[in-house]
Structure formats: C-alpha cells, structure tokens
Amino acid sequence: MSVDPHKRSSKYTTDRMLPGAFEGETVNRRRFMNVVTQGAGGIAAASFALPALGFALGPIFKRLPVSWQIIGRPEDFVETTYVTKVITIVEGIGDAGKSIAYVRKRDPAIDTEKEDKFNQYIALSSRCMHLGCPVRYVEAAERFICPCHGGVYNFRGAVAGGPPVRPLDRFYTYTANGFLYLGPRYSVNSELHRFSPRDPGEPIDGVGQFVYPSRFDTAVLPPTTNLPLPPHIPGT
C-alpha cells in the first residue's frame, strides 16, 4: 500500500502512522519520555560538572590588584648576597598576609635575562615551587633550601635539586623617589623568562604554560602610577 508523502510529514502522530498514536497527538509518549529522561539526566550531570568547571576555571579570570610597597633604599642592597625583607602579600589581615622576599641588586655578570626598569633589583619569593613551603637562603652555600622535601635552588633562584617544578617566583621591583618599590609577583620558567604568576606545583616549561594557563593579571608590565608616597623622614 502506498503512503501519502504529505501525511508522512504531518505534525500529527496518527498521520505519521506511529504505533500507539492518538488522534490530535503531535508527540508520542515514547518520544516524550525520551526527552524528559534525557533532560533530567542533563540537569543532573550539569549540577556536578558546572561547579567543578567553575572551580577549575575561576582562578584564570581572577584579577589581582597591582600594588607597590616600599622595601628600602636602593643602597641597602648589593649584588653579592640577598637581604631578607618582610613584605605584605595580602592587605588588611595582619601577620597572616605577610611573607618574605629575598632581594639583591642585579649583577649583569650573572643576571643574563633581558634587562628593563623592573629588574634592576632581583626580588625572589620565599615560597617553594614544589608545594609552597617557605625556603631559606643559606649564604655560605649560596643556595635556597626548602625544609619540607629537600628542594634546592641556586643563587639566581633556579632549581638545583629536589622536586620543585620551576624556579622561585619573583617580584617586579622599581626605583622611584629615592626608594626601592616591590610590585606584583610573577613566575619564571627554567630560562628565567617572565610569565604571569602560577601556583606552586605548576610547571611552565613547554606545554606546561598551556596546561596551567595565566590569570590575565600581570601578563603585561604593571603600571607605576599608583606608587605609595615615601615615608616622611625627619630633617629631610
């Protein structure tokens, strides 16, 4: 028996001769139940997947404020050793927001990375790039040692041994108003090229820089328009 092609494309299930069709029905029960089941499954999957996705991708879009702090006079620092400075990394939470930076003057004989106005002084973060324990500078050995799992960094902060996945992070430094300012943190790869800051345990050599993407915050050089004013020194 031949079937009218116009009836085949009708919106009514009876015209389309679907099994169990009712007169006036446009969606049969089987299809309706399929759509409802798939919709419910999709909602259940999204309720698990979306929070996990937000947790994973959220930090990428987080913008950290660019702030500068005075850490001393330029003449306080020399090329041959590091000066330990207590710095504020999170404002408004007291001692919990403080950390340590190791600072020295740039030495053109060993600091071969590209020179600009933000690296005339080298400021290294004390946070180990394995799991984040505080490292300590041992002057006699000219090494940074991590007490947690034996990570060792050389004088420039590059990995010399142990499990850390990249060199110690650095801070932008800038000289103005007769003082040395310390700015935002940035990360470096094994060639000490600048990258926007990553977390400990995130390598940025090779594909690592794509696997652990940047956060869009210090991808460009930080502005120096918001430098805090130097402290008033009596007699000056």
Does 148 help bind ligand FES (rule: CB under 6 A)? Answer: yes
Does 145 help bind ligand FES (rule: CB under 6 A)? Answer: no
| DSSP secondary structure of 170-203 | EEEEEEETTEEEEEEEEEE-TT--EE----TT--
Nearer Cβ to ligand FES (87/128): 128
User: Least separation, in Å, of the C-beta of 32 and ligand FES?
Assistant: 57
Q: Tell me the window of 29-37, 80-88, 105-113, 157-165 that interacts with ligand FES (CB under 6 A).
A: 157-165
Nearer Cβ to ligand FES (89/146): 146
Nearer Cβ to ligand FES (151/184): 151
Write b or e for each residue in 185-216: b if 16 or more Cβ atoms lie within 10 A of its Cβ, otherwise e. Answer: bbbbbeebebbbbbebebbbeeeebeebebbe
Nearest to 198 by CA among 214, 211, 182, 184: 214
Within positions 172 to 201, which residues make up the interface with ligand FES, using CB under 6 A? none
Instruction: Answer yes or no: are the C-beta atoms of 99 and 171 closer than 8 Å.
Output: no
For residue 32, the SS3 value is: helix
CA dist., res. 78 & res. 144, Å (int): 17
Nearer Cβ to ligand FES (151/183): 151
Nearer Cβ to ligand FES (148/221): 148
For residue 145, the SS3 value is: strand
Does 89 help bind ligand FES (rule: CB under 6 A)? Answer: no
Does 105 help bind ligand FES (rule: CB under 6 A)? Answer: no
Nearest to 167 by CA among 181, 183, 182, 185: 185
For residue 70, the SS3 value is: strand
Nearer Cβ to ligand FES (180/204): 204
Total residues found in the chain within this entry: 236
Does 163 help bind ligand FES (rule: CB under 6 A)? Answer: yes
Instruction: Answer yes or no: are the C-beta atoms of 87 and 98 closer than 8 Å.
Output: yes
Q: Tell me the window of 22-30, 123-131, 172-180, 187-195 that interacts with ligand FES (CB under 6 A).
A: 123-131
User: Least separation, in Å, of the C-beta of 129 and ligand FES?
Assistant: 8
Q: Which of 89, 100, 128, 188 binds ligand FES (CB under 6 A)?
A: 128
User: Least separation, in Å, of the C-beta of 150 and ligand FES?
Assistant: 6
Q: Which of 64, 66, 83, 131 binds ligand FES (CB under 6 A)?
A: 131
